[in-house]
Chains A and B, each alone.
Chain A
Amino acid sequence: MKIDITKIIIFCFIAFSLFVFWKGLKNSSNYDTTQLIGSKISNFQLININNDDQYISQEDFKKNKFTLINFFASWCVPCRSEHEYLLNLSNKEIKIVGINFKDKKSNAINFLEELGDPYYFVGEDSNGKVSISFGIYGIPESILINSDLTVIKKIVGPIDQIQYDEILKLIQ
């Protein structure tokens, strides 16, 4: 029996194209931040929003067993909905640091006076550059790290009951 090479090549080409399309369809084209989990946070330094002489850097997080870095702004509506969860978390075995993203200092202070202050330190990131080094692309976002400065969890969007329970489970 004579083997038709041309037919085999055409068949292989079609099979390969279908395989590539199938693989392509299986891959999600939506951006997600799962690759950040397990990575270390970058070096940074931020001024305290309440005191220009006070700074915070990644070294300060090494003292805490767990640190939740929360990115917020007074103009961010979903930040209000997650605030009660942050207040509840502030009573647990976790330190919460707030990074005020592209906000006016006075507005941020008023925001915390109105809703309560769950943070042990609020850093000022007026131009958003520090937030980029944390892989932030919108707020609210939160990053849970351990004392090794390794990212354990990243939450995009406001913290809700499900995220709150997951954080509690992770810090236990």
Chain B
Amino acid sequence: MKVKSIFFIICILITLPMHASDNQTRLLEVYKNLRCLVCQGQSIADSNSDFAATIKLVVQDQFNNGKTEEEVYNFLISKYGEWIVYQPTFNKNNFLLWVLPYAVLIFGGFIIFLIVRKTKHKKVN
């Protein structure tokens, strides 16, 4: 029984730092996707500005209150607009940006298919 308890405690102690580092990674990912509005081309993660420091505090608070990444982004977008996120959300203004690469890929594939078929036909004839 004693051995089991010790083993259980050791397992918890091992997983705790892993959990903490997961949170840190998640925070860092969000910081990297947020634009520092008072800096030149820097993300919140890269910037040491006052604004970046405050945004970091707000993001940490929101995560501690159980908010999801999406909710955090939506909150900041509602206050600062789409400009604050590096990866914009899908909307009518940028749908081409999201759809076009896939459309080009499909269209390109179709063209290649046509060319290959044409070449085969020529060889047969």
Contact = CB atoms under 8 A, between A and B. Distances in A.
B52 to A, nearest CB: 10
Given A31-B37, A137-B37, A137-B38, A129 B58 contact: yes
Contacts of A132: 54-55, 58, 79
Contact of B79 (A102, A127, A128, A133): A133
A140 B57 CA distance: 21
Q: For the complex, would chain B's binding face be called helix, strand, loop or mixed by DSSP majority?
A: helix
A31 B80 contact: yes
Interface residues of A, number: 19
B72 to A, nearest CB: 12
Contacts, number: 39
Interface string A22-40: 0000000001110110010
B81 A31 contact: yes
Bin the interface of chain B by size: 10 to 19
A127 B83 contact: no
A142 interface: no
A135 B79 contact: yes
Interface of B: 37-38, 50-51, 54-55, 57-58, 61, 78-81, 83, 96
16 contacts: A31-B37, A31-B80, A31-B81, A31-B83, A35-B81, A39-B78, A127-B54, A128-B57, A129-B54, A129-B58, A132-B58, A133-B58, A133-B79, A137-B38, A137-B51, A137-B80
Interface of A: 20, 31-33, 35-36, 39, 42, 102, 127-129, 131-135, 137-138
